[in-house]
Structure 1
Amino acid sequence: MIKKIKDTFKKIYWRTKFLMFESLNKDWKVVAYTIFPFARKKNFRINLLINKGIIKHKKNEDFIEYKDLRFYCGKHVPIADFMGIFLSNNKYIYNNFINNSAFRLEGPYEEGGVKLKIGDIVIDAGSNLGFFAILAGEKIGTNGKVFAFEPVKKTSEILNKNISYNNLLNIKVIENALGDKESELNFAINEDILGCSSNVLREGKNKIEKVKQITLDNFVEDNDLEKIDFIKADIEGMERNLIKGAEKTIKRFKPNLSICIYHLPDDPEVIEKLILDYVPEYNIKKTKQKIFAWV
């Protein structure tokens, strides 16, 4: 009961702040959607993108189309992730959704000096359905490589389907979790929202799936990789463990880092300290959702 009351007041705070400081320059439909949850229509954001001609999606289809790309999504279209990764440069989307404290969308994985470049070797930890992997695969060209880590079986099947359909031969799916040691984990699987699957066992009737965890240091050594240029991580609170298991890799290659820091309350401080302990010369930029590091 106390938690519900706190959550309610939290929502009231964000919506009041939005109304007072942010709503003037935003689309009135988005303002109404933000402030009045009871008036929200299902798939509002998807329908908005369809009406603006940004994506194509039919009601009974399990995929969306964007430009010449197609993304299979299963039951639930993670439209917020898609918007943050692909549409951050769209002024309308940025102003109304990404720059909107009520939504707190993640935004892009490139910020400051953290940029994808031709020929990069990329680690995508928590690849999910492959939005970032496919964006990276297009940007780095045929001489680059994306290693897309996705340990959840059903999610990795859709990920492989997306990679195959979009004909990107420079992406390889690795069906392991990344952490601080070699072990086997029990993952709680959210079959409705696949990207929320985690090794944190929450209350409820979660399906449990055993997955193999490896370290990035061992992966780099086992595959004789001569460089790592970019590490992206969104792994539901396991980011700090990934970094601990990538100490040698980070110290040796000093890759660009784009790491989510919103899953655990002390993520911003803990993850920044880990990064700077390994490579003190890293430049750091933090947003509400991510930390970016580059040399």
Structure 2
Amino acid sequence: AKGLTVEVHEAGIWSEQGELGFSDSGGRQSTFIGAEKKTVPVTTIDDVAAGRSVTMIKMDVEGAEVQAIAGGRQTIGECKPKLFVAAYHYDVDLFRLPLLLWELVPEYKIYLRKHPYVPAWELNFICIGR
């Protein structure tokens, strides 16, 4: 699309910069949580945004959504981007992710969307400012 800027960052998204173990076993089993298969660099949404205006964030980070949101507190709180966030990695995320996002942007309308395709577990939050 005209005017669209895309950047590639060869790093995982997390709550802080550094390196983490990563299990790249594929599918739902790829994870940073408790993984030790290989080491990969990680960064934050705030560092990637670097103070620029952000209008949309799509996030399916294999169970690290809480940590990714924590690393984007400033960007999400200030820019109030539309969000598309995976909700299916942990049962508790159905409650903790909206509560965390409402702490940052109380005016978010948050919708839970079940997608009609395989894999059947695909649930996402769609967050839109009022």
TM superposition score category, shorter chain reference: 0.7 to 0.9
SS in 2 for 1:258: strand
**What's the % identity of the aligned pairs?**
27
- Structure 2 residue aligned with 1:238: 64
**Which protein is richer in strand relative to its size?**
2
User: Which structure has the larger Rg?
Assistant: 1
**1:263 equivalent in alignment to 2:123:** no
Structure 1 residues 198 and 247, CA, compared in 2 at 3 Å: closer, same or farther?
A: same
Distance in 2 separating the partners of 1:144 and 1:254: 19
Superposed counterparts of 1:203-242, under 5 Å: 208-221=37-50, 225=52, 227-242=53-68
- Structure 2 residue aligned with 1:56: none
- Structure 2 residue aligned with 1:290: 124
- Structure 2 residue aligned with 1:145: 5
Distance in 2 separating the partners of 1:218 and 1:200: 21
Find 1:200's aligned residue among 22, 25, 33. Answer: 33
Superposed counterparts of 1:77-92, under 5 Å: none
Distance in 2 separating the partners of 1:281 and 1:243: 17
Distance in 1 separating the partners of 2:30 and 2:63: 11
- Residue identity opposite 1:200 in structure 2: I
Structure 1 residues 285 and 184, CA, compared in 2 at 3 Å: closer, same or farther?
A: same
Normalised to the residue count of structure 2, the TM-score between the two structures is 0.84
Aligned residue pairs: how many?
A: 121
Structure 1 residue 213: Cα displacement: 1.1
Structure 1 residue 215: Cα displacement: 1.1
- Structure 2 residue aligned with 1:19: none
Distance in 2 separating the partners of 1:201 and 1:210: 12
Structure 1 residue 142: Cα displacement: 2.6
**1:276 equivalent in alignment to 2:102:** yes
Distance in 1 separating the partners of 2:104 and 2:29: 29
- Structure 2 residue aligned with 1:35: none
- Residue identity opposite 1:256 in structure 2: K
Runs (4+) off by over 4 Å: none
Deviations 1:149-193 (A, max 9, x none): xxxxxxxxxxxxxxxxxxxxxxx3211111111221000121xx3
Structure 1 residue 287: Cα displacement: 2.4
CA contact (8 A) 2:33 2:64 kept: no
Normalised to the residue count of structure 1, the TM-score between the two structures is 0.39
- Structure 1 residue aligned with 2:119: none
Unaligned stretches of 5+ residues in structure 1: 1-140, 147-171
Structure 1 residue 277: Cα displacement: 0.7
- Residue identity opposite 2:70 in structure 1: K
Distance in 2 separating the partners of 1:247 and 1:188: 26
Distance in 1 separating the partners of 2:85 and 2:20: 21
Distance in 2 separating the partners of 1:195 and 1:261: 13
User: What value does the CA root-mean-square deviation take over the aligned residues?
Assistant: 1.9
- Structure 2 residue aligned with 1:187: 22
Unaligned stretches of 5+ residues in structure 2: 115-122
